[in-house]
Structure 1
Amino acid sequence: MRTAEIAQRYLDFFEKKDHLIVPSASLVSDDPSLLFTVAGMVPMIPYLTGVVPAPHPRIADLQKCIRTNDIEEVGRTARHGTFFQMLGNWSFGDYFKEGAIRYAWELLTTSESDGGLGFDERDLWVTVYETDDEAEAIWRDVIGLKPERIQRLGRADNYWNTGQPGPGGPDSEIFFDRGPSYGKDGGPAADDTRFLEIWNLVFMQDLIDNIRGKTEFDITGELPMKNIDTGMGLERVAFLKQGVENMYETDQVRPVLDRAVELSGRPYGAVHEDDVRFRVVADHVRSSLMLLSDGVRPSNEGRGYILRRLMRRTVRAMRLLGVDEPAFPELFLASKEAMKTAYPVLEKEWATLSASAAAEEETFRRTLAQGSTILDLALDETRKAGGSTLSGSEAFLLHDTYGFPIDLTMEVAEEAGLDVDRPAFDELMRAQRERAKADARSRKRQRADVSVYRDLRAAGETVFAGYTDLRTDSRILGIIVDGVPVQQATEGQVAEVILAETTLYAESGGQVADKGTIVGAGFELDVLDVQRPVPGLISHTVHVDSGGVAVDDRATTVVDAANRHAARQAHSATHLIHAALRDTLGKTATQAGSLNRAGYMRFDFTWSQPLSPETRSEIEDIANRAVDDALEVTTRVVSLDEAKEAGAMALFGEKYGDVVRMVDIGGPWSRELCGGTHVSTSSEIGLVSVVGESSVGSSNRRIEALVGQNAFRELAAERTIVSQLSAALKAPRDQLAARIEELQSHLKAAEKRIAQFEAKERAGRVPALADSAVHAGSYRVVATSLGEVGSADDVRTLALSVRERLGSEAAVVALGGVAAGRPVVVIATNDAARASGAKAGALVRLSAGVLGGGGGGKDDVAQGGGTDASALEAALEAVVTELTTA
């Protein structure tokens, strides 16, 4: 039974049981404390907590998930994968324990010919929470499961929560017995390798808080209604139904593994470590492809860092399998072909996805080349110093700064006949992980308690009237101060205000929140921010400028008209730039993020090369031609399917419901799904001036532009500068570039001549300086202040020349000067001086200390400086004194 068929049977079964089938949410979680959707329940948390009313009392879904906390186990066990799909059925205040257990058992044990999954009930075991008598009784008395195949376990195994404050509850897990060849008998409590968990039935009834660990938390109350959250691991069921050994050999994953085998020329199933690497490749390629398809791009932070790590672990594994050539084009193609039936977007966006993958592989290959050079130098230094072990700190530097994997470091070191201090490296990695965990815990602590919005959201959605009006009369539904609902807020306080209707735009889709005020009888509120803390609810963060405001007061929202107009211009200009990019670069140049505020727009897009000046000008020209053409801007509210049929583009990072807002500029020329505010015709934008184009990652670029009056003011300022330059250089505007280039050429020639004169002048000073040498102890010493100098390099060059002129007798040269107002000292010693104990590094630290600074260097030459130029003579005298008394 193929993976897609298992999923369809599940969804069909629950649809017949009056469940609403909903699509998978994005892998990019809406929860600010989570980078990814780590479990099937994450998108359902607003419904489970009652903050947002569920669209139906019963729901079923197939949810994409990413979890990387066990990444080191990938490939080593049958069940660990970074990307997985969780089938779930949900009840929000409808059926509870008995219903969930009955449904699960019916689907699992119904024959395949009758639409079920065809498991033999003799192979199934269950566990229940240690105090859950009710669940055990249902399994025993209602289902008829033998008591010896029902086991009670504690919090670590049979209590489910997200690891953060929110919903939780006891669960009952269903296990499949794989047989005696996989381990010992005795049920799940005895061996979780032989007995494989396939379905988890969570009885959501508690609110938990103060989480101190997996089993250490406080149950602070009950959920407003009892809910059911179940999760059946699609990959686990698939490998059982397909008769293979693990999830990596199922129909959606095995094609990548097989392609890796072909590219490497090594067999699968012959060498354990190679098998682990093949499975890592198969898992990580699929995970990377799915993350790319949800808009994540490789970077050095956040979600992008996780994706980059997965992709680079893949490159590393292929290298260890003997594949040094680029492999992503082949591997990602194999994954796309295996997954496209379940996720058609992979086929639709293939050009963009494959380009991003190839760009990241090429970037890492360059990183490996650079890291190899640095590693070779480190190994060479270790050998020269007589060592046999590369330090853990150097290995960590290669890993952390250059992305060079530790196992490659160890491999190269072994080839060079050296060891790596792996324990020291592991300790540095442990410390880094602890810092990361502390940061994650901090993020969780900062997570807003959205339960405060539950009652407000239950009253209905906030009506946004701002598409057509700049002011509207409304009513204060709620006031929140410091996270606590209150009845009123007084002058000087900052509060959140929830209204029944508003014209103030809440930040979303890259467009920042409106500016404005909320006024009423006896109060005026300055709007600081507008957000959507939970779906359907708009919250205004305000400063109470005057008076006091209370719940149920009538109020009027007033949008700052000038700011809104400039924001509309910028947002519409973003659509023009997007369309111009696709006209110029092709359909693979798609949005990867944006920011729109009054008079300014920033647009990130998928592209791996800098834009030429000509291309940048062409994009700007296309956008401004669209402005000149006064294209009509229309908006329609349509179904998501209808919008897709019309070719509307979805914007990066946006989540869409069944009904969407589609914005057309010039009909199909620019057609996007967008909830932002826009102009009525493109001519209202006024002007688009592209002011920057830069890299924001290996496969992403960024265009920045000023819009409307901001663009005009910027161009006017540039015109003034050009006029001033033209007058100063006595050159017409069209000849300015040539005139400046000519002046630069003359300047370089003059600087070259000046450098030659200065070098000649310095050389002329060498004899006199050498002749000024005095005896200090057993050394000949030159200790002289040169006064004002061009740079520290001038002092260094002169010190080395004087040292050469003093010959083989033990000699020390200490020269000082003042460069750009700061004192500098350079000390040089010859072989004889060093043999007698004079070390330039130690001497320069002594003299620099007199200057109020520091310095360092090698025994033969060292440099230092400070802040007190008046102490330069004393600093040089300190060197002479030290040598005299040595």
Structure 2
Amino acid sequence: MQTADIRQRWLDFFAERGHTVVPSASLVSDDPTLLFTVAGMVPFVPYLTGLVPAPYPRATSVQKCIRTNDIEEVGKTPRHGTFFQMSGNFSFGDYFKEGAISMAWDLLTTPEDGGGYGFDPNDLWVTVFEDDDEAIELWKSIAGLPEERIQRLGKDTNYWHTGQPGPAGPCSEIFFDRGPAYGADGGPATDDDRYVEIWNLVFMQYLIDDVKSKTDFRIVKELPKKNIDTGMGLERVAFIKQGVDNMYEIDQVRPVLDRAAEISGRRYGANHDDDVRMRVIADHVRSALMLMSDGVSPSNEGRGYILRRLLRRSIRAMRLLGVEGPTFRELFAASRDAMKAAYPEVATDYSHIEQLALGEEETFLRTLTAGTAILDLAVTKTKGSGRGELAGDTAFLLHDTYGFPIELTLEMADEAGLAVDRAAFDTLMTEQRSRAKADAKSKKKVLADLSVYADFRAKGETIFTGYSELTTASTVLGLLVDGRPVPVATAGQTAEVILAETSLYAESGGQAPDQGRIVGDGFELEVLDVQKPIKGLISHTVKVTSGEVGVGVPATTLVDEEYRRGATQAHSGTHLVHAALRQVLGPNAHQSGSFNKAGYLRLDYGWNSALSPETRSEIEEISNAAIRDNLEVVTREMPLDEAKSLGAMALFGEKYGDVVRVVDIGGPWSRELCAGTHVSTSAEVGMINIVGESSVGASNRRVESLVGLDAFRRFASERALVSELTSTLKTRPDQLVDRVGELVTSLKAAEKRIQQFEARALNDRVPALASKAVRTGEVLLVAETVGTLGSGDELRSLALAVRSQLGDAASVVALTAEVGGKPVAIVATSPAAREAGANAGALAKTMANVLGGGGGGKPDLAQGGGSDLGAIPAALDAVRSTLRG
């Protein structure tokens, strides 16, 4: 049974039983405490917790998920995958344990020709929470399971909660027995290789608080509405139904594994280590493909760092298979072909995905070259010192700075005949993880408790009127101060205000929030921020500038008209620049992010090279031509599928509802999905002035532009600058570039002549300095200060010339000078002086200590410095004393 068939049977089964089929949410989670959607229930948490009223009594989905906490286990076990699909059915106060158990058993054991999965009931076991007698009796009566195939387990495995105060409950897990060939008899409690968990039923029935750990919490009471949250691992069922040993060999993953084997010339199944590497590649390439299809780009932080790690681990695994060149073009194409039946977007967006993957591969292959040079140097030093173990901090540097996985360092060190101090490396990694966890924990603590919004959201969605009006009469539904509900807020306080209606735009879609005021009888509030803390609710952060505002009173929202005008100009300008980019560069220049506020816009897009000045000017000209043509701007609401059929562009990786807002500028010239505020005609944008273009990561560029009056002001200031320059240089504007070029050429020639004169002057000082050599201890010593010089390099050249002038004698040259207002010291020693025990590095350090700074270097040449110019004579005396000793 193919994975796509298993998926469709799930959705059909529950749809026939009254469940609303909900499409998979993005892998990028809306939950601010999560990087990714880590479980099938994550998109439904607001409904399960009661934070947002559920729009349907029961639902089903097959949710895309990413988990990386067990990334080191990928490829080693049959079931650990970074990307996986979780099939779930959910009840929001509708059916409970009996319904969940009954439907699960029906779907699993109904024959394949009857629409089920056709599992033999004798192969299935269940676990339940140790005190859940009700679930045990239901499994006996509904499924006819004997007592010996129902196992009671504790809170650590069979009790679910979020780790925070809120809903919780026991769960029951269903396991498939793979048979005695895979392990010992005795059920799931004894062996999780033989007994594979395929389905978990969570019975959410209690409210808990005082949560200290997974097993230590207090049950407050039963929930008024009991919920069901279940999850069946699609890949786990697939590898069982397809008769293969693990999830890496199912139809959606195996093609990548086979392609890796073909490229490397290795045979899958011939060598355990190679098999693990091929499974890692198959898993990570598929995971990266799905992440990029949801808009994640490689970077050095957050989600982008996880993606980068997956890609680099794939490259590393291919390298350990003996392949050092690029392979992503073939591997990603194989994964695309395997996944597009279930997720057509991976084919639709593939050109962008491939561009990101190939760009990252090219970058990391260069990084590998640089890191290999560092490793080679460390290996040489280690061997030279007689040690047989590479330092742990070197391995950590390679991992942290160059992205070298430790396995790659171990392999390359082993090839050089060295071990690696793994204990020291692990200690440094543990310290880094501890810092990261502490940082994440501190960030998590400052997040508002979203449950405070539940009562407000229960009263309905906030109505946004700002598309058509700037002033709206409303009612204060709630007030929060310091995250807690209050009846009133008084002058001087900062508070959150929840209104029934508002004309103030909440930050979203890249558009900054509106500025404005909220007024009422006896109070005035300055709006500091407008956000959507939970779906359907708008919250206004305000400062009470006068009076007192209370819950239930009338209030009027007033948008700052000038700011809104600038914001609409910028947002419509973003659409114009995006359309112009694609017209000039082609469809691969796909927007990957944006931000706009009054007078300013920035747009990130997929591209792997800088724009030439000519291309940048062309994009700017096309954008301004669209403004000149006064194109009509039309906004419409329609179903998402209809919008896509019209060619409306979606922001890559953005999440959209079933009904979307389409913004047309000049009809199909620019047609995008967008919930922002816009001008009525393109002429209202005024002007586009592109002021910056830069890189924001591999295969991603950023354009920045001023808009409207801000764009005009920039042009006006540049015009004034040109006018001043032409006046100063006594030339015409059209000759200004040539005139400045002439001046630069003349300046460079003059600087070169000055350098020649200075070098000659320094050389002229060499004989006089050499003549001051005095026998000190066993060497001839020149210890002098030479006044003020332009750079330390000049002082170094002078010291070397003096040393050369002294010939083969055992000589030490110690010179000081003032450079940039600070003392600098250079020490040079001849071979004979070094044989006599003189060390330039030690002498420079001695001088630097006197000068109030630091220094050192090689035995033949070293440098020091400090901050105390008055200590120069003492520093020279210190050299004399040291050499006498």
Tell me the TM-score normalized by structure 2. Answer: 0.98
1:834 aligns with 834
Once the two structures are TM-superposed, the CA of residue 824 in structure 1 deviates from its matched residue by: 1.1
CA contact (8 A) 2:101 2:142 kept: no
Once the two structures are TM-superposed, the CA of residue 830 in structure 1 deviates from its matched residue by: 2.4
Give the counterpart letter for 1:695 in structure 2. S
Once the two structures are TM-superposed, the CA of residue 881 in structure 1 deviates from its matched residue by: 3.0
CA contact (8 A) 1:73 1:80 kept: yes
Quick one: distance in 1 between partners of 2:42 and 2:796?
Answer: 64
CA contact (8 A) 1:205 1:226 kept: yes
Any idea what the Cα deviations from partners look like across 1:144-178, whole Å, max 9, x if unmatched? 21111111101121112344555432100001111
CA change 1:210–1:268 in 2 (3 A) is farther
1:870 aligns with 870
Q: Unpaired segments of 5 or more residues in structure 1?
A: none
Give the counterpart letter for 2:42 in structure 1. V
CA contact (8 A) 1:785 1:872 kept: yes
Once the two structures are TM-superposed, the CA of residue 424 in structure 1 deviates from its matched residue by: 1.9
Once the two structures are TM-superposed, the CA of residue 264 in structure 1 deviates from its matched residue by: 1.5
Quick one: distance in 2 between partners of 1:287 and 1:778?
Answer: 70
Give the counterpart letter for 1:133 in structure 2. D
Any idea what the Cα deviations from partners look like across 1:563-591, whole Å, max 9, x if unmatched? 11111111100000111111111111111
Q: Does 1:345 align with 2:345?
A: yes
SS at match of 2:539: strand
CA contact (8 A) 2:574 2:602 kept: yes
Q: Does 1:292 align with 2:326?
A: no
1:593 aligns with 593
SS at match of 2:538: strand
Give the counterpart letter for 1:766 in structure 2. V
CA contact (8 A) 2:88 2:231 kept: yes
Quick one: distance in 1 between partners of 2:794 and 2:207?
Answer: 71
2:109 aligns with 109
Quick one: distance in 1 between partners of 2:215 and 2:63?
Answer: 26
SS at match of 1:534: coil
Once the two structures are TM-superposed, the CA of residue 448 in structure 1 deviates from its matched residue by: 2.3
Quick one: distance in 2 between partners of 1:525 and 1:122?
Answer: 68
CA change 1:218–1:367 in 2 (3 A) is farther
2:575 aligns with 575
CA contact (8 A) 2:584 2:619 kept: yes
Quick one: distance in 2 between partners of 1:691 and 1:766?
Answer: 52
CA contact (8 A) 1:26 1:64 kept: yes
With 426-435 and 187-196 compared, the bigger mean Cα shift is at 426-435
Any idea what the Cα deviations from partners look like across 1:839-858, whole Å, max 9, x if unmatched? 22232223222322222222
Quick one: distance in 2 between partners of 1:73 and 1:362?
Answer: 27
2:60 aligns with 60
2:430 aligns with 430
Q: Does 1:124 align with 2:145?
A: no
1:554 aligns with 554
1:150 aligns with 150
Q: Does 1:174 align with 2:174?
A: yes
1:508 aligns with 508
SS at match of 1:655: coil
1:275 aligns with 275
CA contact (8 A) 2:295 2:654 kept: no
With 143-152 and 627-636 compared, the bigger mean Cα shift is at 143-152
Q: Does 1:816 align with 2:820?
A: no
Q: Does 1:630 align with 2:630?
A: yes
Give the counterpart letter for 1:352 in structure 2. H
* Aligned residues between the structures: 885
1:734 aligns with 734
1:98 aligns with 98
Once the two structures are TM-superposed, the CA of residue 811 in structure 1 deviates from its matched residue by: 2.6
Once the two structures are TM-superposed, the CA of residue 809 in structure 1 deviates from its matched residue by: 3.5
- 1:873-884 alignment runs, 5 A limit: 873-884=873-884
Quick one: distance in 1 between partners of 2:286 and 2:162?
Answer: 24
- 1:435-584 alignment runs, 5 A limit: 435-584=435-584
1:790 aligns with 790
Q: Unpaired segments of 5 or more residues in structure 2?
A: none
Quick one: distance in 1 between partners of 2:218 and 2:734?
Answer: 74
CA contact (8 A) 1:49 1:224 kept: no
Once the two structures are TM-superposed, the CA of residue 6 in structure 1 deviates from its matched residue by: 0.9
CA change 1:653–1:328 in 2 (3 A) is closer
CA contact (8 A) 2:606 2:700 kept: yes
Once the two structures are TM-superposed, the CA of residue 746 in structure 1 deviates from its matched residue by: 1.7
SS at match of 2:33: coil
Quick one: distance in 2 between partners of 1:211 and 1:273?
Answer: 42
Quick one: distance in 2 between partners of 1:363 and 1:165?
Answer: 45
Quick one: distance in 2 between partners of 1:759 and 1:6?
Answer: 81
Quick one: distance in 2 between partners of 1:211 and 1:869?
Answer: 63
SS at match of 1:186: coil
1:649 aligns with 649
Once the two structures are TM-superposed, the CA of residue 541 in structure 1 deviates from its matched residue by: 0.6
Any idea what the Cα deviations from partners look like across 1:404-436, whole Å, max 9, x if unmatched? 232222333233333322222222222222222
CA contact (8 A) 1:570 1:597 kept: yes
CA change 1:761–1:216 in 2 (3 A) is farther
1:360 aligns with 360
CA change 1:686–1:137 in 2 (3 A) is same
CA contact (8 A) 1:523 1:547 kept: yes
SS at match of 1:574: helix
Once the two structures are TM-superposed, the CA of residue 222 in structure 1 deviates from its matched residue by: 5.0
CA change 1:796–1:183 in 2 (3 A) is same
Quick one: distance in 1 between partners of 2:212 and 2:582?
Answer: 50
- 1:324-335 alignment runs, 5 A limit: 324-335=324-335
CA contact (8 A) 2:293 2:653 kept: no
Give the counterpart letter for 1:756 in structure 2. Q
Once the two structures are TM-superposed, the CA of residue 223 in structure 1 deviates from its matched residue by: 4.5
With 258-267 and 294-303 compared, the bigger mean Cα shift is at 258-267
CA contact (8 A) 2:266 2:321 kept: yes
Tell me the TM-score normalized by structure 1. Answer: 0.98
Identity of counterpart residues, as a percentage? Answer: 66
Give the counterpart letter for 1:288 in structure 2. A
Give the counterpart letter for 1:716 in structure 2. A
1:613 aligns with 613
Quick one: distance in 2 between partners of 1:223 and 1:541?
Answer: 32
Once the two structures are TM-superposed, the CA of residue 463 in structure 1 deviates from its matched residue by: 0.6
With 331-340 and 374-383 compared, the bigger mean Cα shift is at 374-383
CA change 1:620–1:49 in 2 (3 A) is same
Quick one: distance in 2 between partners of 1:162 and 1:312?
Answer: 32
2:370 aligns with 370
Q: Does 1:780 align with 2:776?
A: no
Give the counterpart letter for 1:387 in structure 2. R
1:71 aligns with 71
